[in-house]
Amino acid sequence: LNLKNMGAKVFIGHSKENVHGADVVVYSSAVKEDNPEIIEAKKLSIPVIPRGEMLAELMRFKYGIAIAGSHGKTTTTSMVGSILGKTGYDPTVVIGGKLEAYGSNAKLGRGDFLVAEADESDGSFLRLSPTIVSINNIDLEHVGYYRNLDDIKKAFIKFANKVPFYGAVALNIDDKNVKDILPKIEKKVIKFGIENKDADINAYELELVNGTYRFKVNDLGQIHLSVPGKHNVYNALTAVAIADELGIPFCVVKETLENFKNASRRFEIKYDGNIKVIDDYAHHPSELKATICAAKDKYPDRRIITVFQPHRYTRLHSLFNQFAESFGNSDTVIITDIYSAGEKPIENISAEKLTEKIKEKGKEVYFAKYLSDVENMLKEMIKEGDVVLILGAGNITQVAEKLAKYLEGINA
């Protein structure tokens, strides 16, 4: 709707006719080479460029702030964008999820700042030329593109060193893999962490208050986050480090973070009655642990039911044991079939095998092949006081929507 209001033609579905009259075709990493619009554009000699190249071109004309790391990019980008907006800088913001404050996954600002997620999944972040870079964490991920963890670390080092001499790199030195690359960063570094004496921006005296963290930052003051989870303390510290580098008053940072509303599918509460239904994009073992832990912090005395849809065969294959160990804080687990995202199956890798592995660890776990099976299972299983987490990067979000509507109907 926003694009239409700005004069854009919006097509639903893909067709070669859609590109007729276009000056350039921009595609994301999710779009394959056999897409009819890409084929037609090449046939008509219309330039076809990846999203990363277009983002780099936009950033070239702005003061670029690139939020990098394996996890938490969308939330952190949203936090930084919100702080800049509160200060009156009117930034352009490009994120990976819908932000409640904007009602969109992007905001076109009139100011000099451009804040964007730096997507490492296909190496496209190396096209960017930001003035400030943040790296919150580094994990083994995107194994279809990177050979191993060392390969990923090298990419982050190269990315951080693209910052100009007058720029800065904010690093979470509590993360082992980020700390490993620290000696190879040749630009100004701002280190942040929790109760870490080596950190420039240091959070301490953490305490859970009504399910979310309250903490002090250096001698600047105290922040009580509105979003749950210790991982969000790190996301907030990233934002504090960047704001401090830009000279933004701490009072503005504090007010923004304490009133921050998370992006779509980031611990998004879809139903908020006696039963809670929470939808989250978590699809990596580290993200699963963080989200489930956040739910346990927020609702310590409630039963946690976690529904997880594995995303991509390659990810499940490379991190199989880590996935099986991710559900420690869940009371009950439901595993659905793998959302392939266009990948071909890998022999001996299946959601059923993951279910068996989780069961070996003593968990109450069930396999549901179809989303409709998950819905029926949940309707029979849930009771007053339960917290239902719907996790995954595929179409599992449909279950959260339908379960919320079902609960609204029976409690109307």
Give the count of domains, the chain. Answer: 2
pLDDT band at 282 (very low <50, low <70, confident <90, very high): very high
Residue 14 lies in a domain: no
- Provide, rounded to the nearest whole percent, the portion of the chain with pLDDT above 90: 86
Among 238, 258, 278, the domain-final residue is: 258
Among 235, 258, 281, the domain-final residue is: 258
Find the CATH number of the domain harbouring 299.
3.90.190.20
Find the CATH number of the domain harbouring 102.
3.40.1190.10
pLDDT band at 411 (very low <50, low <70, confident <90, very high): confident
Q: What are the pLDDT digits (tens) for 354-392?
A: 999 999 999 999 999 999 999 999 999 999 999 999 999
Same domain, 168 and 91: yes
Q: What is the pLDDT of residue 182?
A: 98
Residue 132 lies in a domain: yes
pLDDT band at 1 (very low <50, low <70, confident <90, very high): low
Exposed, middle or buried, 383 (CB in 10 Å: 0-12/13-18/19+)? exposed
Cα diameter, the chain: 61
Residue 42 lies in a domain: no
Interior/surface letters 364-380, b for 16+ CB within 10 angstroms, e for the rest: ebbbbeebeebbebbee
pTM of the model: 0.89
Q: Which domain holds residue 107?
A: 52-258
Q: What are the pLDDT digits (tens) for 49-80?
A: 998 899 999 999 999 999 999 999 999 999 99
Q: What are the pLDDT digits (tens) for 6-29?
A: 888 999 999 999 999 999 999 987
* Residue 101 pLDDT > 70: no
Residue 10 lies in a domain: no
Same domain, 250 and 290: no
What distance in Å separates the CA atoms of residue 234 and residue 223, rounded to the nearest whole number? 12
At position 401, the amino acid (one-letter code) is E
Q: What is the pLDDT of residue 260?
A: 94
In terms of pLDDT, which residue wins out, 1 or 250?
250
Count H helices and E strands in the chain, helices first.
14, 18
Same domain, 333 and 294: yes
Same domain, 229 and 281: no
For the chain, helix, strand, coil in percent to 5 are 35, 25, 40
Q: Which residues are catalytic?
A: 73-74, 117
Residue 169 lies in a domain: yes
